[in-house]
Amino acid sequence: MFDFRKKKQFDFGLVSTQDDRDIDVVRLRRESRNGLWTESLRLARDIFLIIVVFVLFGVFAVQPVVVEGTSMLPELHDGERLLVNKLVYYKFQSVSWGHLERGDIVVFWFPSDPDKSYVKRIIGLPGETVEVRSGKVFINGSQLIEPYLDGINNQNLRDSSSKTVDQHYYFVMGDNRDNSSDSRVWGLVPEKYIYGKAFFRYWKPSNAGFLEHGEYDIPEMPKLDDIRAEHE
Protein backbone atom coordinates (compact mmCIF):
# COMPACT_ATOMS: atom_id res chain seq x y z
CA MET A 1 0.00 0.00 0.00
CA PHE A 2 2.75 2.42 0.95
CA ASP A 3 5.96 2.44 -1.03
CA PHE A 4 8.78 3.68 1.23
CA ARG A 5 11.49 3.04 -1.28
CA LYS A 6 13.64 6.11 -2.02
CA LYS A 7 12.36 7.76 -5.07
CA LYS A 8 14.51 9.66 -7.53
CA GLN A 9 14.58 13.29 -6.43
CA PHE A 10 14.76 16.27 -8.74
CA ASP A 11 16.55 19.47 -7.66
CA PHE A 12 14.65 22.56 -8.63
CA GLY A 13 16.41 25.87 -9.15
CA LEU A 14 19.86 24.36 -9.79
CA VAL A 15 21.64 24.68 -13.12
CA SER A 16 23.81 21.89 -14.39
CA THR A 17 26.53 22.18 -17.01
CA GLN A 18 24.87 19.28 -18.70
CA ASP A 19 21.81 21.45 -19.39
CA ASP A 20 23.70 24.06 -21.46
CA ARG A 21 27.14 23.50 -22.92
CA ASP A 22 27.69 27.28 -23.23
CA ILE A 23 27.69 27.82 -19.48
CA ASP A 24 31.16 28.76 -18.14
CA VAL A 25 32.25 26.97 -15.03
CA VAL A 26 33.86 29.51 -12.68
CA ARG A 27 36.22 28.21 -10.06
CA LEU A 28 36.80 31.22 -7.81
CA ARG A 29 40.22 30.31 -6.47
CA ARG A 30 41.68 29.62 -9.89
CA GLU A 31 40.10 32.71 -11.41
CA SER A 32 41.37 34.93 -8.60
CA ARG A 33 44.92 33.63 -9.09
CA ASN A 34 44.72 34.18 -12.83
CA GLY A 35 43.28 37.67 -12.34
CA LEU A 36 46.03 38.64 -9.91
CA TRP A 37 48.72 37.39 -12.29
CA THR A 38 47.20 39.27 -15.22
CA GLU A 39 46.92 42.53 -13.29
CA SER A 40 50.52 42.16 -12.08
CA LEU A 41 51.72 41.80 -15.66
CA ARG A 42 49.74 44.87 -16.72
CA LEU A 43 51.16 46.90 -13.83
CA ALA A 44 54.72 45.83 -14.72
CA ARG A 45 54.09 46.77 -18.35
CA ASP A 46 52.78 50.23 -17.40
CA ILE A 47 55.71 50.90 -15.06
CA PHE A 48 58.16 49.88 -17.78
CA LEU A 49 56.52 52.20 -20.31
CA ILE A 50 56.57 55.09 -17.84
CA ILE A 51 60.28 54.54 -17.20
CA VAL A 52 61.02 54.42 -20.93
CA VAL A 53 59.10 57.67 -21.50
CA PHE A 54 60.95 59.44 -18.68
CA VAL A 55 64.33 58.20 -19.96
CA LEU A 56 63.60 59.39 -23.50
CA PHE A 57 62.26 62.68 -22.15
CA GLY A 58 65.46 63.20 -20.16
CA VAL A 59 67.74 62.25 -23.05
CA PHE A 60 66.09 64.35 -25.75
CA ALA A 61 64.05 67.09 -24.07
CA VAL A 62 64.66 68.16 -20.46
CA GLN A 63 67.47 67.69 -17.98
CA PRO A 64 67.82 68.85 -14.35
CA VAL A 65 71.00 70.72 -13.36
CA VAL A 66 72.38 72.22 -10.15
CA VAL A 67 73.72 75.78 -9.94
CA GLU A 68 77.20 75.99 -8.42
CA GLY A 69 78.60 79.38 -7.48
CA THR A 70 77.33 82.96 -7.51
CA SER A 71 78.23 84.19 -11.00
CA MET A 72 74.55 84.53 -11.97
CA LEU A 73 73.33 86.60 -9.01
CA PRO A 74 70.71 87.91 -8.50
CA GLU A 75 68.85 85.66 -10.95
CA LEU A 76 70.37 82.36 -9.79
CA HIS A 77 71.74 81.33 -6.40
CA ASP A 78 74.19 78.64 -5.38
CA GLY A 79 72.51 75.26 -4.90
CA GLU A 80 69.35 76.00 -6.86
CA ARG A 81 67.94 73.34 -9.20
CA LEU A 82 66.98 74.15 -12.78
CA LEU A 83 65.29 72.42 -15.68
CA VAL A 84 67.21 72.74 -18.94
CA ASN A 85 65.59 72.61 -22.36
CA LYS A 86 67.73 70.40 -24.62
CA LEU A 87 65.60 70.91 -27.75
CA VAL A 88 67.93 73.71 -28.87
CA TYR A 89 69.96 70.90 -30.42
CA TYR A 90 67.31 70.54 -33.10
CA LYS A 91 67.13 74.27 -33.95
CA PHE A 92 63.38 74.75 -34.32
CA GLN A 93 63.53 78.30 -35.63
CA SER A 94 59.76 78.82 -35.62
CA VAL A 95 59.54 78.78 -31.80
CA SER A 96 61.66 80.55 -29.19
CA TRP A 97 62.34 77.41 -27.13
CA GLY A 98 63.78 75.67 -30.18
CA HIS A 99 66.79 77.94 -30.80
CA LEU A 100 69.23 80.20 -28.96
CA GLU A 101 68.51 83.90 -28.45
CA ARG A 102 70.13 86.83 -26.71
CA GLY A 103 69.20 86.75 -23.03
CA ASP A 104 68.94 82.97 -22.81
CA ILE A 105 70.51 81.43 -19.71
CA VAL A 106 72.47 78.51 -21.14
CA VAL A 107 74.36 75.54 -19.74
CA PHE A 108 77.47 74.50 -21.65
CA TRP A 109 80.72 72.59 -21.45
CA PHE A 110 83.59 74.91 -20.52
CA PRO A 111 85.67 75.31 -23.72
CA SER A 112 89.01 75.09 -21.86
CA ASP A 113 87.95 72.00 -19.88
CA PRO A 114 84.95 70.08 -21.31
CA ASP A 115 84.71 68.06 -18.10
CA LYS A 116 83.25 71.15 -16.41
CA SER A 117 79.94 72.83 -17.18
CA TYR A 118 79.04 76.50 -16.72
CA VAL A 119 75.81 78.46 -16.65
CA LYS A 120 75.83 81.99 -18.17
CA ARG A 121 73.64 84.35 -20.17
CA ILE A 122 73.98 84.80 -23.93
CA ILE A 123 74.98 88.39 -24.70
CA GLY A 124 76.57 88.40 -28.17
CA LEU A 125 75.28 86.47 -31.18
CA PRO A 126 77.19 85.17 -34.21
CA GLY A 127 78.35 88.02 -36.46
CA GLU A 128 77.97 90.74 -33.82
CA THR A 129 80.66 92.93 -32.29
CA VAL A 130 80.68 93.01 -28.49
CA GLU A 131 82.49 95.60 -26.40
CA VAL A 132 82.41 96.44 -22.67
CA ARG A 133 83.05 100.05 -21.69
CA SER A 134 82.80 101.32 -18.10
CA GLY A 135 80.89 98.17 -17.18
CA LYS A 136 78.29 98.65 -19.94
CA VAL A 137 77.87 96.28 -22.88
CA PHE A 138 77.72 97.58 -26.44
CA ILE A 139 76.49 95.45 -29.35
CA ASN A 140 77.58 96.78 -32.75
CA GLY A 141 78.12 100.15 -31.06
CA SER A 142 74.67 100.31 -29.39
CA GLN A 143 74.36 100.02 -25.61
CA LEU A 144 72.61 96.91 -24.33
CA ILE A 145 70.05 97.70 -21.62
CA GLU A 146 70.03 94.89 -19.02
CA PRO A 147 67.35 95.43 -16.34
CA TYR A 148 68.03 92.04 -14.71
CA LEU A 149 71.44 93.22 -13.39
CA ASP A 150 71.98 94.38 -9.81
CA GLY A 151 74.26 97.38 -9.33
CA ILE A 152 75.64 95.87 -6.11
CA ASN A 153 77.21 93.08 -8.15
CA ASN A 154 78.48 95.35 -10.91
CA GLN A 155 80.70 97.97 -9.36
CA ASN A 156 83.95 96.94 -11.05
CA LEU A 157 83.65 98.99 -14.24
CA ARG A 158 86.40 97.23 -16.15
CA ASP A 159 86.62 97.48 -19.92
CA SER A 160 86.88 94.70 -22.49
CA SER A 161 88.24 95.16 -25.98
CA SER A 162 85.94 94.86 -28.98
CA LYS A 163 85.33 91.27 -30.03
CA THR A 164 83.60 89.99 -33.16
CA VAL A 165 81.61 86.81 -32.54
CA ASP A 166 82.40 84.07 -35.04
CA GLN A 167 79.71 82.04 -36.75
CA HIS A 168 78.43 79.16 -34.58
CA TYR A 169 79.87 80.81 -31.47
CA TYR A 170 78.34 82.90 -28.66
CA PHE A 171 79.58 85.58 -26.28
CA VAL A 172 78.32 84.79 -22.76
CA MET A 173 78.50 86.64 -19.44
CA GLY A 174 77.38 86.10 -15.88
CA ASP A 175 74.85 88.51 -14.34
CA ASN A 176 77.23 89.01 -11.41
CA ARG A 177 79.76 90.87 -13.55
CA ASP A 178 82.15 91.52 -10.64
CA ASN A 179 82.53 87.80 -9.91
CA SER A 180 82.06 85.98 -13.20
CA SER A 181 84.58 84.15 -15.32
CA ASP A 182 83.08 84.38 -18.80
CA SER A 183 83.75 85.32 -22.44
CA ARG A 184 85.52 88.50 -21.32
CA VAL A 185 88.23 86.26 -19.84
CA TRP A 186 88.42 83.01 -21.82
CA GLY A 187 86.64 83.81 -25.07
CA LEU A 188 83.68 82.56 -27.04
CA VAL A 189 81.57 79.43 -26.52
CA PRO A 190 81.16 77.07 -29.49
CA GLU A 191 77.52 76.38 -30.30
CA LYS A 192 78.16 72.63 -30.14
CA TYR A 193 79.22 72.98 -26.48
CA ILE A 194 75.86 74.41 -25.44
CA TYR A 195 73.70 71.47 -24.38
CA GLY A 196 70.62 73.35 -23.23
CA LYS A 197 69.07 76.53 -21.96
CA ALA A 198 67.58 76.86 -18.50
CA PHE A 199 63.92 77.84 -18.36
CA PHE A 200 62.50 76.79 -14.97
CA ARG A 201 63.70 76.80 -11.35
CA TYR A 202 62.08 74.06 -9.26
CA TRP A 203 64.20 74.35 -6.13
CA LYS A 204 64.07 76.12 -3.73
CA PRO A 205 60.25 76.13 -3.67
CA SER A 206 60.12 79.74 -2.47
CA ASN A 207 61.84 80.83 -5.71
CA ALA A 208 60.23 78.29 -8.04
CA GLY A 209 59.15 79.62 -11.41
CA PHE A 210 60.27 80.50 -14.91
CA LEU A 211 63.57 82.32 -15.31
CA GLU A 212 63.76 85.93 -16.44
CA HIS A 213 64.69 86.36 -20.09
CA GLY A 214 66.15 89.67 -21.19
CA GLU A 215 64.17 91.89 -23.56
CA TYR A 216 66.27 94.05 -25.86
CA ASP A 217 65.73 96.75 -28.47
CA ILE A 218 68.81 95.70 -30.47
CA PRO A 219 67.73 93.53 -33.43
CA GLU A 220 69.41 90.21 -33.94
CA MET A 221 71.63 89.88 -36.99
CA PRO A 222 70.62 87.26 -39.56
CA LYS A 223 72.66 84.10 -39.30
CA LEU A 224 74.98 83.03 -42.08
CA ASP A 225 72.97 79.87 -42.72
CA ASP A 226 69.79 81.96 -43.13
CA ILE A 227 71.53 84.31 -45.59
CA ARG A 228 72.74 81.39 -47.67
CA ALA A 229 69.24 79.87 -47.70
CA GLU A 230 67.78 83.13 -49.04
CA HIS A 231 70.22 83.16 -51.96
CA GLU A 232 69.67 79.54 -52.91
- Kindly list the catalytic residues: 71, 120
Beta bridge pairs of residue 160: 132
Q: DSSP labels for 5-62?
A: SPPPP--SS---TTT-TTPPPP-HHHHHHHHHHHHHHHHHHHHHHHHHHHHHHHHHTE
Which candidate, 109, 115, 112, 138, places its Cα nearest to that of 216? 138
Strand partners, 22: none
